[in-house]
Chains A and B, each alone.
Chain A
């Protein structure tokens, strides 16, 4: 059964349109998150559903009835809203503040619910006698949620309820929302943390500049290309410990800076991969074994890589791929990767491009982890050594500012 429906809703403050041609519906009992950049119209959307604003065009229906047809008291029994900002400069006790939520249930205590029980459900029973004005930001957020729960409405709208909460209270809050949802309450919650959105919500609505950019299960909706279009950042999806999570990098401005190839493995290159990619370099890597930590990171970052089967020595095909990537690079960096007979050919490849004129830099740790005896003499061959990743990154940045070596293209 449809609980909330928006039909071609447009809303504008004065002349500035905030929401444009919004059409979507929530079924009874759904658990939906709203995400979107600042100013995308999220708060306005929940104000419209609560009937606090009237659409300029189109219709907002709650229980198949236009929101404008509700009196405020009726609406408060149907829709509870947890606002983002909440001001109260008067010395009311927490219990008094929470009890105000039962206003729409009349004066009969049997109908009003118990403020103490509601507070203990949120794990803040001990706050009841305290003055509201003395609470911390996070405590206030929970108290306002308790106030909204006292309305006993079947639809709960929340505007960034977790923004002032520490991580433990955040998780507690979203667990509680899920529990309320299991009890049959429809939940529509604005939040900014996309990873929480990914984990907790059955469905996400992505708003962008007042329009629905995507609406559906989180895995379909929080795809990197959608996030890039909506937020203007690069998004990467990672899988770890059985979960999917997102990380973000700022979007690149202007041209790519140049191409760096990494010889790495076993997690020695993951950090450089991310740093260099974020700084705007085109990064390639190889040869890496599939399922190696660096290989996984490179895959999540969408890098070009020469890859060999898991636990196998570098074969001819992978070696050839690797050489091709190295030749295309402006700089080759060898990390402190342990070198054995399995990956010794990567060092050979580095020597080959060095001879052909591509600068090769290396982490000093490489020499200590050489179990194949192939790194001796690299310094004599012209490989520059650096004390660590930080020094390497600094050098890459300086190199860009002051081109050196034989490479004509700035790296």
Chain B
């Protein structure tokens, strides 16, 4: 790394931390009932169960919801970085592996069978996600190697297949159609501590790719060159694919299919700090969290008291930002 890039990297991380903190503060403070920073500190230090209605809002509604949004955003962004670089394809997002569709199918079963969201719907969603991953994995495996292109195609194909099943289920169980559509669009509405507990399982998976930053950099030159330079490519692919799938499955199981964050955050980060993973991974993690936090904040305040689905917000915010950055970069270089 050149010293300039290193400086940019440090600056980037510092900036990302600052934005992350600002977004966290805004998300906690704003809402139908706004809470001042002083109050936030008060609630935090007093602990749960105190501080009257404000404390209840903070501890039982606001904090878990914000934490969940941040964890889901970070998970999707990290999964997006991993998959875009493994597939060497800029249009990849965490959902191409089919894991999200599988999870959606699991959740749809839960809704149609009128099971409780927790633990059953979440468990079914996780099971659906991992079952899809296993299927795609088996299809793409040949002579001990995972063919990354077969995996991509198998993932896309299985997504369509599973989506078709969901459509059939929606038509058959039309009284549940609203619930299914609302779940598919993705939302943090009504989520609380149990969902956060599930989402916490994503944290170790966010750390894993940091240990593979060098391998991920080298893999940008393609699998063959990585082999030549001594990378155990199959091991790296196995670990990274599983990590991305786990992050996606966990995120989808607690929040539904929220689009755009996993696609756009890695790109924005690369445009700002370059493709080196020592920088991209931590900044994407913080950036994904911050973007999802702000999106959720907008989703619950824009048309309060009704909510705009958070997936709609991420797209409305992300798309113009992305186009702007692409244009700026082209005129700059």
- A residues contacting B by CB (< 8 A) are 50, 52, 71-77, 80-81, 83, 86-93, 95-97, 99-101, 103-104, 128-129, 147, 151
Contacts and interface: CB of A to CB of B under 8 A. Distances in A.
Counting chain B residues whose Cβ lies within 8 A of the other chain, the interface size class is 20 to 34
A73 B230 CA distance: 4
B221 A76 contact: no
9 nearest A-B pairs in the assembled complex, by CB-CB distance? A76-B230, A104-B230, A90-B275, A73-B230, A81-B228, A90-B220, A100-B218, A72-B230, A129-B2
B6 to A, nearest CB: 10
Given A90-B275, A103-B214, A104-B230, A83 B1 contact: no
A52 B232 contact: no
A90 B2 CA distance: 16
B2 A87 contact: no
A302 to B, nearest CB: 45
Contact of A151 (B88, B225, B229): B229
A72 B222 contact: no
17 contacts: A52-B227, A72-B231, A73-B232, A74-B230, A75-B230, A76-B228, A76-B229, A77-B230, A80-B228, A89-B88, A92-B220, A92-B275, A95-B1, A96-B217, A103-B231, A104-B229, A129-B4
Contact of B228 (A50, A71, A88): A50
Contacts of B233: 72
A93 B276 CA distance: 10
B227 A72 contact: yes
A52 B1 contact: no
Contact of A103 (B218, B220, B275): B218
B229 A100 contact: yes
B271 to A, nearest CB: 9
Interface in B189-236: 214-215, 217-218, 220-222, 224-225, 227-233
B222 to A, nearest CB: 6
Contact of B224 (A52, A77, A100, A147): A52
A42 B68 CA distance: 56
Contacts of B4: 129
B230 A95 contact: no
A316 B213 CA distance: 85
Contact of A86 (B2, B217, B225, B270): B225
B274 interface: yes
Contacts of A80: 228
Contacts of A90: 220, 270, 274-275
A50 B228 CA distance: 7
A101 B229 CA distance: 6
B213 to A, nearest CB: 11
Interface of B: 1-2, 4-5, 88, 214-215, 217-218, 220-222, 224-225, 227-233, 270, 274-276
Given A73-B230, A151-B229, A92 B224 contact: no
Nearest to A104: B230
Given A87-B221, A92-B217, A103-B214, A151 B5 contact: no
A72 B232 contact: yes
A93 B2 contact: yes
A104 B5 CA distance: 23
Contacts of A97: 221
B228 A96 contact: no
A93 B5 contact: yes
A93 B6 CA distance: 12
Contacts of A103: 214-215, 218, 229-231
Nearest to B274: A91
Contacts of B222: 87
Residue in B4, B227, B270 whose Cβ sees the most chain A Cβ within 10 Å: B227
Given A72-B233, A93-B2, A95-B2, A86 B228 contact: no
B331 to A, nearest CB: 16
Given A93-B1, A128-B2, A129-B4, 4 more contacts: A71-B232, A86-B225, A88-B220, A92-B220
Contacts of A95: 1-2
Contacts of A74: 230
B144 to A, nearest CB: 12
Contact of A83 (B5, B214, B220, B228): B228
Contacts of B231: 72-73, 103
B131 to A, nearest CB: 32
A60 B221 CA distance: 26
Nearest to A147: B229
A99 B2 CA distance: 10
Contacts of A87: 221-222
A236 B141 CA distance: 53
Nearest to B218: A100
A89 B89 CA distance: 10
Nearest to A74: B230
Nearest to B85: A90
Contacts of B215: 103
Given A72-B231, A75-B230, A103-B218, A96 B1 contact: yes
B5 A96 contact: yes
A75 B4 CA distance: 33
B230 A151 contact: yes
Contacts of B227: 52, 72
A92 B229 contact: no
A147 B218 CA distance: 11
Contacts of A128: 2
Contacts of B214: 100, 103
Given A72-B233, A95-B2, A100 B221 contact: yes
Nearest to B214: A103
Contacts of A129: 2, 4
B9 to A, nearest CB: 11
Contacts of B230: 72-77, 103-104, 151
A96 B279 CA distance: 13
A362 to B, nearest CB: 62
B119 to A, nearest CB: 42
